[in-house]
Amino acid sequence: MDYKAKMGVCSCCPDQVERWNTSDRVVLNLMIVARITQEGNAEPFFLERNDMGSMPCLLGTETGRRFNVKWVKMPVKEFEALPQFEHVRLAVQWFKELTAAATELKKGHSAQSEIHRLEAERIDAVVTGMGFNVLDLIEK
């Protein structure tokens, strides 16, 4: 721990101590996540450790299916880029398109505004098809 710099190595990352001790202070922003695979399904699902609770025990009990849970370290950016969060990324893009549509309309550019509005509408349909509502995904 470097108290002056207010930085250190988390107790969950003892493998990073050697790097730290050689004065490497690059912040890796690692998080511990559960890599969950269901028997017969090749695509894993990832959950942040803080969201797990007793999830590994419940997965098999609640569904009657077999799951394999492996704890892994993953950079935050990699976690946020996982396919399982595509609906969230699309909702952010939907909001940007709506904002751009309003901005263009204020400028008197109705054709450009309509292009953005239609793209927002298309994205909304995709997110709805994924089983989500864009309004529920945007931070208020």
Q: What is the DSSP string of 39-105?
A: TT--S-EEEEGGGTTTHHHHHHHHHS--EEEEEEEEEHHHHHTSGGGHHHHHHHHHHHHHHHHHHHH
- Cα dihedral: 80, 137, 86, 92 (round 10): -80
> Which sign, positive or negative, has the C-alpha torsion 88, 93, 98, 103?
positive
Q: What is the pLDDT of residue 61?
A: 46
> pLDDT tens-digit profile of 9-63?
777 677 778 877 888 777 667 777 777 787 777 777 766 655 544 444 444 444 5
* pTM for the full predicted model: 0.58
- Grade residue 138 by pLDDT with cuts at 50, 70 and 90: confident
Q: Are 88 and 127 in contact (CB under 8 A)?
A: no
- The predicted model gives 79-92 an average pLDDT of 86
Q: Give the three-state DSSP class for 139.
A: coil
